């Protein structure tokens, strides 16, 4: 159960993040944050471990505030989050847990090898990755590609393996390449039992989508 003070902090944080991200058109908008928060709560409620719901929800709400894609530098984004948390009387452990989750959550083209130590971190990471899958994941991929002036598909371009973070963010991919470089790999990256179950259905949906996409691309139907 959240305390009255924790509920106030969460409400303040909702408004802060909403104002920061409400106009984003890259798929990292407020509604992405809200979905990740809801998924994290859903997973937490169905996991058997003792879970700090306050840490889960705060990390989910703030996870993209520090993202390098949405700031001039990752250091700038990290400072935003630390400044926001410093306004409140959180315990040292709570602040550290929230920051650890936020700073080590991102997929980063598979280059992120940090294993989150807390169950809260593993839950929020699963929630974020689930929102990159399925129908929502497809929509977000197209939105992000469009925002970066990337093509939907180019048959001459093939998915790449063993990317550095610089290569992953270079803009040399297409929307369809992104399926193979990230989205279809996420099913095997889940941390929790609930996350694994939800990922199965979303993964299957993306596979079916790609079959239909290629058939239509080739004029078969």
- pLDDT confidence bin for 28, thresholds 50/70/90: very high
Task: Give me the chain's average pLDDT, please.
Answer: 93
In this predicted structure, the answer to whether residue 142 has a pLDDT above a threshold of 80 is yes
Residue 92 and residue 206: Cα distance in Å, rounded?
A: 41
What is the pLDDT, as a whole number, of residue 11?
98
CB 63 within 8 A of CB 30: no
**Two structure tokens written together for 131:** 């929102």
Q: What is the pLDDT of residues 37-94, one digit of tens each?
A: 999 999 999 988 899 999 999 999 999 998 877 787 888 889 999 999 999 999 999 9
Residue 169 and residue 172: Cα distance in Å, rounded?
A: 8
Half-sphere exposure of 35 (CA within 13 A, CB side): 16
Question: What's CA 87's distance to the chain center, in Å?
Answer: 25
Instruction: Output the CA–CA distances (angstroms, integers) from residue 21 to 68, 140, 144, 188, 204, in the order listed.
Output: 14, 15, 14, 29, 30
Residue 118 and residue 105: Cα distance in Å, rounded?
A: 12
Residue 91 and residue 93: Cα distance in Å, rounded?
A: 5
In this predicted structure, the answer to whether residue 210 has a pLDDT above a threshold of 90 is yes
In this predicted structure, the answer to whether residue 109 has a pLDDT above a threshold of 70 is no
Residue 155 and residue 168: Cα distance in Å, rounded?
A: 19
Q: What is the mean pLDDT of residues 148-176?
A: 87
- pLDDT confidence bin for 110, thresholds 50/70/90: low
Q: Mind listing the domains of the chain with CATH numbers?
A: 4-217 (1.10.3210.50)
């Amino acid at each position: 159960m959240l305390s009255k003070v924790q509920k106030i902090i969460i409400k303040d944080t909702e408004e802060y993040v909403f104002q920061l991200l409400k106009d984003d058109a890259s798929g990292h908008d407020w509604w992405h944050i809200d979905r990740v928060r809801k998924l994290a709560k859903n997973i937490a409620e169905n996991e058997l471990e003792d879970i700090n719901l306050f840490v889960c929800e705060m990390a989910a709400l703030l996870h993209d505030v520090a993202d390098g894609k949405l700031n001039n530098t990752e250091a700038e984004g990290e400072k935003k989050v630390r400044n926001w948390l410093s306004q409140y009387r959180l315990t040292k452990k709570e602040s550290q847990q929230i920051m650890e989750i936020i700073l080590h959550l991102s997929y980063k083209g598979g280059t992120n090898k940090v294993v989150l130590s807390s169950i809260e971190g593993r839950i929020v990471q699963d929630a974020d990755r689930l929102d990159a899958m399925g129908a929502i994941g497809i929509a977000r991929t197209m939105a992000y590609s469009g925002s970066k002036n990337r093509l939907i598909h180019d048959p001459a371009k093939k998915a790449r393996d063993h990317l550095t973070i610089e290569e992953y963010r270079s803009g040399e991919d297409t929307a369809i390449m992104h399926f193979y470089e990230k989205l279809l790999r996420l099913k095997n990256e889940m941390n929790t039992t609930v996350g694994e179950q939800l990922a199965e259905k979303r993964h299957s949906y993306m596979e079916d989508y790609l079959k239909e996409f290629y058939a239509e691309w080739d004029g078969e139907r």
